[in-house]
C-alpha cells in the first residue's frame, strides 16, 4: 500500500485547480498522501477512475443528495469490480454487483475511494487482527483504532473520506467511532440491507456508517435504508415508529457497579457527558445494567459462536495459514458446543430480550460508555482475547437484544479517546439521534421517514396546553407555516381553551406549525380528538394542501383579527 500511495502523490494536481466533485476527490487523495495510515486500506481505486466518475457527476449538474461526497467501504462489503477479502487473502473474490447499500449510495452520487482494513472476518473489536497490518488510531500511533471496522473509522477521522461504511455485530460500528473521535450510527437490525456483506454472525450482522458528525451519518443511512429483495431479513419501518424524542426524555444510566469496567482515567469524561445530557433536558435515572452485560456474554462465550463457524469456519479450516490466530481460536471454539447448546442459548436470549424490555420500560433510551478503555497495540498483543472482550462490555448485547445505537465522541484523557452511546429499542433510531444531537448542541438530522404531516394552529402549538398530545406520539416539529388567506379562527369556551379554524370567503392567513408523525400516530391522534375538533385538508399560503384542524361550521367567538392563537392568548392575559 505504501507504493500505491506514493504513486498517487507523484501525479496529484492541486485540488483548487479542478471543479466540484473532482475537487473533493483530489483533496481526498492529497489528504491520503499526508495522513500516513497505509494500513487503513486494503484496496484503493485508481485515481484516474475515481476522477472520471467525479467528472461525470459534475457534468450531469444534478441535484443528487450525496453528489461529490467521497466514502470508503469496509472490505467485507461488496463493491462491483473491487476485490472483497474480509482481510483474508485466500478468501478474496471480485463481485460483479454492488451490495444493495453501496448501489444506493452510488445512485445518490457518492463516490467510493476504495476498501478499508478490518479485523479478519469482522471478528474483533481491536483493529489489530489483520494480515494487512494493525490499524493505528487516527490520533495516536501507539493506540488501537478499534475494530472490526478499523480502517473505515480511521479514514473518516483523518479527513480522507466524508463518511465510511462499516459493519457491526458486537460493536464494530461503534467502538472504532469512540476511539477515533467520530460518530458511529448502528441502525435497527434489517433497516439497512446486508446482501453483499460477508456474514460474520448472520442473525445479528448490520451495516453501519462512520462520519465526522450526526448529519453526515444520518444522511448516508437514510439513503441506504429500506427493504431489498436480495436480503430476506431486511425490514421496513413500522407504521407506528417515533419521529422524534420527547422534550423531557427519561434516560437510563448504569448504577455504580455497572461502571466498574470503566478506566478510571476516563471516568471524568463519562461524568461530563452525563452533565451535557442533563443540561439538554434529560432526566438521568440509574439502573442495574448487569442483566444486559450478562446477555452480552452469549455472543462470544456461548453457543451462538456457531453462527461464525457456519459463516467462515470452513475457509479457516481449509486455509489455516491465512487465518489470524486469535480469530481461528475463537471460531474453532464452536466445536465444543452441540446443537442442543445452541437451542438452549437461543432460548436464553429470548428471555434476555424480555428482561431488557422490562428493565427499560418507561425510559426513552439507555446511555452507556461506548468502550470502557482505550488500550495500546502492545497491550492488546499481550492479551488479545481478554482486551477484546473488555472492549465489547457495553456493546455486545445491542444487536442480540434487537436495539439501535448512536455512538458520539465524548473527549480524550491524554491520548485515550472516549465516547458514549445512546441505545434505544428497535425502530426508535430517530429518538437516539435526537438525544445525541441535543447533547452535542447541534441540529438533529432526520433519519426516520415521516409518514404524515399535520399543521396545527391552536392549543397543540409548541408550548401550548395540548402540545404534549403530539410529542407523546413521537411527532416532530418541522417549522412555522401559515394558511392561505381563506380561513377564520374562533375561540371555544373549553378547558383548556381551543380554537376552531373554518374556511371562509372572507378569511385571513392564520399562523401555525408543521409537525411530522407516523401514519399510525396520526390515526391515534385523530381518534382521540373531542367534538367538534376534526382533521381535514387545509390550504397553506404556498398553495399546497395538507392535513390540519378544520371545522365545517363556526362556533365560539371570532378572533381572526387578533392574528392567530398566540396573539389571542396574549390579548387575554
The residue among 35, 43, 36, 134 whose CA lies nearest residue 92 is 43
DSSP, collapsed to helix, strand or coil, labels residue 350 as helix
3-state secondary structure 185-229: EECCCCCCCCCCECCCCCCCCEEEEEECCHHHHHHHHHHHCCCEC
Our answer to whether residue 115 is catalytic in this structure is: no
Choose the catalytic residue: 130, 148, 152, 234: 148
Choose the catalytic residue: 149, 150, 152, 172: 172
Question: What gap in Å lies between CA 533 and CA 516, rounded to an integer?
Answer: 19
DSSP, collapsed to helix, strand or coil, labels residue 163 as strand
What are the grid coordinates assigned to 213, written together? Answer: 458528525
Residue burial 527-543, b: 16+ Cβ < 10 Å; e: rest: eeeeeebeeeebbbeee
Q: Look up cell 481449509; give the residue.
A: 318
Our answer to whether residue 130 is catalytic in this structure is: no
Angle in degrees, CA 157, 243, 449, rounded to 5: 75
Give 231's DSSP letter: B
The helix (run of H) or strand (run of E) holding residue 147 is none
Question: What gap in Å lies between CA 409 and CA 141, rounded to an integer?
Answer: 19
Angle in degrees, CA 352, 357, 361, rounded to 5: 150
Phi, psi of 158 (to 5 degrees): -85, -5
Angle in degrees, CA 133, 139, 142, rounded to 5: 50
Q: Look up cell 401514519; give the residue.
A: 519
DSSP of 47-92, one letter per residue? HHHHHHHHHHHHHHT---TTTT-EEEEETTB--TTS-B-TT-GGG-
The residue among 87, 80, 3, 8 whose CA lies nearest residue 42 is 87
The residue among 344, 343, 316, 318 whose CA lies nearest residue 330 is 316
Question: What gap in Å lies between CA 381 and CA 128, rounded to an integer?
Answer: 8
Residue 305: other Cβ atoms inside 10 A: 25
Our answer to whether residue 74 is catalytic in this structure is: yes
What amino acid positions are annotated as catalytic residues?
A: 74, 148, 172
Amino acid at each position: 500500500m505504501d507504493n500505491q500511495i506514493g504513486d498517487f502523490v507523484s501525479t496529484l494536481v492541486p485540488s483548487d485547480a479542478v471543479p466540484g466533485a473532482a475537487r473533493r476527490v483530489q483533496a481526498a487523495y492529497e489528504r491520503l498522501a499526508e495522513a500516513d495510515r497505509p494500513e487503513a486500506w486494503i484496496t484503493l481505486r485508481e485515481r484516474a477512475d475515481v476522477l472520471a466518475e467525479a467528472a461525470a457527476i459534475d457534468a450531469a449538474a444534478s441535484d443528487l443528495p450525496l453528489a461529490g461526497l467521497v466514502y470508503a467501504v469496509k472490505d467485507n462489503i461488496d463493491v462491483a469490480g473491487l476485490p472483497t477479502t474480509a482481510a483474508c487473502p485466500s478468501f478474496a473474490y471480485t463481485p460483479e454487483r454492488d451490495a444493495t447499500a453501496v448501489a444506493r449510495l452510488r445512485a445518490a452520487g457518492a463516490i467510493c475511494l476504495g476498501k478499508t482494513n478490518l479485523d479478519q472476518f469482522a471478528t474483533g473489536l481491536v483493529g489489530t487482527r489483520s494480515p494487512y497490518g494493525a490499524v493505528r488510531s487516527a490520533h495516536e500511533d501507539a493506540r488501537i483504532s478499534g475494530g472490526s471496522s478499523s480502517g473505515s473509522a480511521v479514514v473518516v477521522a483523518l479527513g480522507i473520506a466524508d463518511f465510511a461504511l462499516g459493519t457491526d455485530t458486537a460493536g464494530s460500528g461503534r467502538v472504532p467511532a469512540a476511539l477515533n473521535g467520530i460518530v458511529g450510527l448502528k441502525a435497527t437490525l434489517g433497516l439497512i440491507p446486508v446482501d453483499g456483506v460477508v456474514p460474520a454472525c448472520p442473525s445479528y450482522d448490520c451495516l453501519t456508517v462512520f462520519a465526522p458528525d450526526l448529519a453526515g451519518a444520518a444522511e448516508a443511512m437514510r439513503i441506504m435504508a429500506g427493504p431489498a429483495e436480495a436480503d430476506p431479513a431486511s425490514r421496513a419501518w413500522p407504521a407506528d415508529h417515533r419521529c422524534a424524542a420527547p422534550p423531557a426524555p427519561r434516560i437510563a444510566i448504569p448504577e455504580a457497579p455497572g461502571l466498574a469496567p470503566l478506566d478510571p482515567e476516563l471516568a471524568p469524561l463519562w461524568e461530563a457527558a452525563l452533565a451535557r445530557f442533563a443540561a439538554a433536558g434529560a432526566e438521568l435515572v440509574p439502573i442495574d445494567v448487569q442483566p444486559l452485560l450478562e446477555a452480552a456474554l452469549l455472543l462470544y462465550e456461548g453457543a451462538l459462536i456457531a453462527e461464525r463457524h457456519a459463516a467462515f469456519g470452513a475457509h479457516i479450516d481449509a486455509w489455516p495459514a491465512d487465518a489470524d490466530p486469535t480469530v481461528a481460536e475463537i471460531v474453532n471454539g464452536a466445536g465444543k458446543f452441540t446443537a442442543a447448546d445452541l437451542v438452549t442459548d437461543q432460548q436464553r436470549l429470548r428471555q434476555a430480550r424480555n428482561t431488557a424490555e422490562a428493565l427499560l420500560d418507561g425510559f426513552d433510551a439507555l446511555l452507556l460508555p461506548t468502550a470502557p478503555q482505550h488500550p495500546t497495540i502492545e497491550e492488546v498483543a499481550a492479551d488479545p482475547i481478554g482486551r477484546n472482550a473488555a472492549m465489547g462490555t457495553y456493546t455486545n448485547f445491542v444487536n442480540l437484544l434487537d436495539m439501535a445505537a448512536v455512538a458520539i465522541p465524548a473527549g480524550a484523557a491524554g491520548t485515550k479517546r472516549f465516547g458514549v452511546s445512546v441505545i434505544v429499542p428497535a425502530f426508535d433510531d430517530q429518538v437516539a439521534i435526537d438525544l445525541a444531537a441535543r447533547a452535542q448542541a447541534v441540529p438533529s438530522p432526520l433519519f426516520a421517514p415521516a409518514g404524515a404531516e399535520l399543521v396545527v394552529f391552536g392549543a397543540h402549538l409548541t408550548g401550548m396546553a395540548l402540545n404534549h398530545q403530539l410529542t407523546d406520539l413521537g411527532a416532530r416539529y418541522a417549522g412555522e407555516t401559515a394558511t392561505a388567506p381563506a380561513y377564520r379562527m374562533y375561540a371555544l369556551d373549553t378547558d383548556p381553551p381551543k380554537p376552531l379554524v373554518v374556511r371562509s370567503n372572507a378569511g385571513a392567513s392564520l399562523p401555525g406549525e408543521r409537525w411530522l408523525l407516523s401514519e399510525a400516530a396520526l390515526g391515534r391522534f385523530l381518534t382521540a380528538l373531542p367534538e367538534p375538533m376534526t382533521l381535514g385538508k387545509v390550504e397553506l399560503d404556498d398553495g399546497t394542501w395538507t392535513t390540519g384542524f378544520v371545522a365545517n361550521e363556526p362556533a365560539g367567538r371570532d378572533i381572526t383579527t387578533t392574528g392567530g392563537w398566540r396573539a389571542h392568548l396574549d390579548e387575554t392575559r
